[in-house]
Structure 1
Amino acid sequence: MTVSAVAQTEGQKIIIDVTSTDLKVYQSVMLSAKLISSGNPKTKLEVIVYGEALPMLMKDQSNVAGEIAKYMNNDNVVFTACELSMNLLQVDKNQLLSGVGTVENAVVEIVNKQALDWGYIKAGN
């Protein structure tokens, strides 16, 4: 079996790193999530949001909340906020969209996943 065939059969593991404050970047991330997950439903995708991009995952500020909600029943697509950033920006977990997970430190999470062969996409403009 070729590497390409294995990737299609088993799915890939991909991180999308989001730190931008640009609302258009959030829309682009959601388009990427749609294309990646529909291209191979077995692909595992984690959108990791930190720094001043946290509004992407916040109830009262997200311009993509409806699109994120569509993935809440998909175990292969996860949206994650950085607790370190949340603390620095005084954001409580109850301000996050329903179903959004958290990690203690986004950068450490990204590095650890890359060590486990997760692909990496930096969202931005």
Structure 2
Amino acid sequence: MRVSRLLTERLPGYLIKSVCGFGSVSSMRLSVAAHRYSWTDCFALMKRSDALSFGLQLTRFHYRSKRLSRQKKTSIFMWNPIAVACVFLAALLLHESAWGAGPAAGGGANQPHRIVMHLNASDEKVQRSTLNNIKHLYQELGPQSLTVELVVHGAGLPLLTKKGTAFAAELADLKKTYGINYTACSNTMKTMQVTREDLIGEVDDTVPAMVRLMERQEQGWVYIKP
């Protein structure tokens, strides 16, 4: 009964005070406020810190309190060694479960990467660099682990036109080898009076570039602009 009461009524308050760094042990006396803390409060703190270090801190505090109690007879709360062991074990289990849970949703190591590449430059050096970067990404990660969509608009639109592109072979190779997606901005096409027939055959879609870029980022795609 004594250990049960210690674990459920008094210990949470002292855990909170210990983690929050309340001065010396002699200042950590039982108070009405300490009773208001619950195990939920303790575990919330443990999740925000390294649980294993948390458990070690509690063990150190236990032995410090024992030494002080021998020096002066005070009303300092004495921790039962069994209780300390239970808390340390709980901290260790929480630490292991946190590691076992793995990365948050959307960050799994085996989940395919999705990149939306934004290009609106007419400079052929920038265009070449963009295509090379895409190729290097595919070579590093592999087409099974990577999806890339190149969204082109503004001054960069000629890259995807039959008469304007200087990289027809490179665009075709990326499409054939890795399955990259090409999107041409429909608003830019209207402004430049470019029709669907004027575009290279590898283009997948014609939609407003800003809308597509917004949608992809809302869907969790990584946005890159060279």
TM class by shorter chain equals 0.7 to 0.9
Aligned twin of 1:99:
202
Aligned twin of 1:6:
108
Could you list the per-position Cα deviations for residues 97-123 of structure 1 after superposition, in whole angstroms to 9, with x for gaps in the alignment? Answer: 112122321101101110111001112
Q: Percent identity?
A: 26
Q: Is the 8 A contact 1:43 1:76 kept in 2?
A: no
> Are 2:185 and 1:82 aligned?
yes
Aligned twin of 2:81:
none
Q: Please, which runs of 5 or more residues in structure 1 have no aligned partner? A: none
More helix by share: 2
Q: Is the 8 A contact 2:115 2:224 kept in 1?
A: yes
Higher RCO (CA-CA < 8 Å; seq separation 6+):
1
> Are 2:125 and 1:30 aligned?
no
Could you list the per-position Cα deviations for residues 75-107 of structure 1 after superposition, in whole angstroms to 9, with x for gaps in the alignment? Answer: 641111011110111001111111212232110
The 3 A distance-change label for structure 1 pair 38 and 110 is: same
- Residue 110 of structure 1 aligns with an amino acid whose one-letter code is L
State the aligned residue count: 121
- Residue 6 of structure 1 aligns with an amino acid whose one-letter code is G
Aligned-partner Cα distance in 1 for 2:159–2:147 = 20
3-state SS, counterpart of residue 174 of structure 2: coil
Q: Give the drift of 1:70.
A: 0.7
> RMSD of the alignment, in Å?
1.8
- Residue 23 of structure 1 aligns with an amino acid whose one-letter code is E
3-state SS, counterpart of residue 59 of structure 1: coil
Aligned-partner Cα distance in 2 for 1:99–1:75 = 12
3-state SS, counterpart of residue 80 of structure 1: strand
Bigger-Rg structure (1/2): 2
Aligned twin of 1:40:
141
Q: Is the 8 A contact 1:49 1:106 kept in 2?
A: yes
Aligned twin of 1:21:
122
Aligned-partner Cα distance in 1 for 2:114–2:158 = 25
Aligned-partner Cα distance in 1 for 2:214–2:103 = 27
More strand by share: 1
Q: Give the drift of 1:2.
A: 5.0
3-state SS, counterpart of residue 63 of structure 1: coil
Aligned-partner Cα distance in 1 for 2:149–2:197 = 20
Q: Please, which runs of 5 or more residues in structure 2 have no aligned partner? A: 1-101
